[in-house]
Every structure is written in structure tokens, then in C-alpha cells.
Amino acid sequence: MTHKLTRTHVLLFIATFFTTLMAGALLNGVIPWEEPGRIYLGLPFSLTLLLILGTHELSHYYMSRRHHVQATLPYFIPAPPIPFIIGTFGAIIKMKPPIPDRRSLIDIGASGPIGGFVIAVIACFVGLNWSEVVPSVPTGDLEQRLAMGHSILFGFISKLVINIDSDKYDIILHPIAFAGWVGLLVTSLNLLPIGQLDGGHIVYALFGERHATIARITIPVLLVMGLTFWPGWILWAALMIIIGYKHPPVVYPHIMLDKRRKNIGWLSLVIFIITFTPEPFKLI
């Protein structure tokens, strides 16, 4: 499997840059095809989001190479820049199994979420400092509108940076803050303890074959959350069933985790808890 930068990598990155640029412009109230001269207003969102996704995947790539696991450079995936779509479906790298042992597995699996998480947190702090605070409008005076939920961490950062009464004021997120919010959401989705998601790698490294039991429990939990909080969880549960909840074995399962890697695994699970958003989007 090639480690080289190919034409496909370049073209997908350019396409994703433009789709996220247009999505960022739309977030700023600019319709790019009507006002092409103002498309630059989408740059803060686009560049921040690409930095978060790129850091995530390049961290995986670096650790894969370090452990002599063949992997490609990141493939960015563009998406149509329409309302409620952020201009990308994320980014991926392709790895060629097998993974040698649990130590390399946790290094590879945890590096991406932790790397992207650090950039997303920085983006939240910077963007919230530049966000606008406006008086709340009673929902009875408006038609239903879409609002964003928040994780434990995003709520904490918001309180720290903009300590307002949420009953009286709303925050209009700066595009960098919104990209940070998306980054935290993407981190939590990747850390779901299922199959070959990053969270699946980490849980398998920590618990071995018990990973399958944890994954089987997680899928009905997602279904219940889909009925209770956000219907999107039902789609995620269906996707996980289609992809599969099992994890392939490592070559040398007898090699145990050292204390440092166990701590990395538990840190990743804490990150999952504090970035998880039960209801990312809701009507109010």
C-alpha cells in the first residue's frame, strides 16, 4: 500500500476545501454562487475544520508508520455545501492489516481522536471569544428553529469564556467556534466503542475479546437514544450493524498493555464522555 501523495489525494483535498469554503460562506449568510466575491468569508470555518480533520488522520498515519503498519495518507471526502451539511463527510486513511499487538493498536487508534480533540478545543476557545451574544427571543414569537446541543466539554468552555444567563441570551457562534463544535462531535462519533472505529480499536486493546460484548450493548443503546434524543442515532446504529461490530484479532495478543498505554486508553474514554452530545440538533 502506497505512502505517497497521489493525484486522488490532491483532488479530493481541493474539492473538500471548496465545499467546506462554500459551507462556511453559507454559515455567514453568503450565497457563494450569487456573491462569489464574498466566498472568502467561509475561510475561517473551512481552514479550522480541515485542520481538525487533517490532524486527526495524520496522527493515525504517523503512528501507523511508527509501528510499521502500512497506511495511506488521508483521503478527504467532500460533501454538498447545502444547509445543515458542513461541506465534508470527514477524512479517512486506509490501513493494511494485521495490527501487530494491543500496544500498537491503542497507539494508532487513540492518536487520531486525541490529536483532533486538542485542535478542536483550541478552536472552541478562540471562536467563542469572537462569538456574538444576543438577547434570547421567546420561542413563542417564532416558528420552530433548529438549535445545537452541546457536550459536557463544550458547555464548560462556553461558561468559562462567555459566562451568560442562557435563559436571557443566546450565543451566535463564530465560524471557528462552530468548526470546533463539529470537531468535538466528530471526536465522540469516532470514539464509539464499536467495530473498527477508533473507539473500537481502543476498547479492543483494553478489553480484548470482551470488546464484542461492549459493542453489542452499544448498538441498542444508540437505538434507544435515537428514539429518545436524536433520530440520527438510529442511522448510526444501522450503519454499525452493516459495517459490523466485531474487531479483527491482533497478531500477538499475549503482549499486554503497559501502564502508559492503559492511561491513554482511559483518557480516550474520558474524552468520549465529555465530547458526546446526546442531542446534537433539536427543534425549539
pLDDT tens-digit profile of 34-75? Answer: 898 999 999 999 999 999 999 999 999 999 999 999 999 999
Q: How far is CA 230 from the centre of its chain?
A: 17
Q: How far is CA 233 from the centre of its chain?
A: 15
pTM of this structure = 0.93
Count the neighbouring beta carbons within 10 Å of the beta carbon of residue 132: 10
Q: Quick check: 87 pLDDT over 80?
A: yes
CA separation for the pair 72, 213 (Å, rounded): 31
Residues 219-238, buried b or exposed e (16+ Cβ, 10 A)? Answer: beebbebbeeebeebeebbe
pLDDT confidence of 284, banded at 50, 70, 90? low
- When pLDDT is averaged across residues 148-171 and rounded to a whole number, the result is 87
pLDDT for residue 237:
93
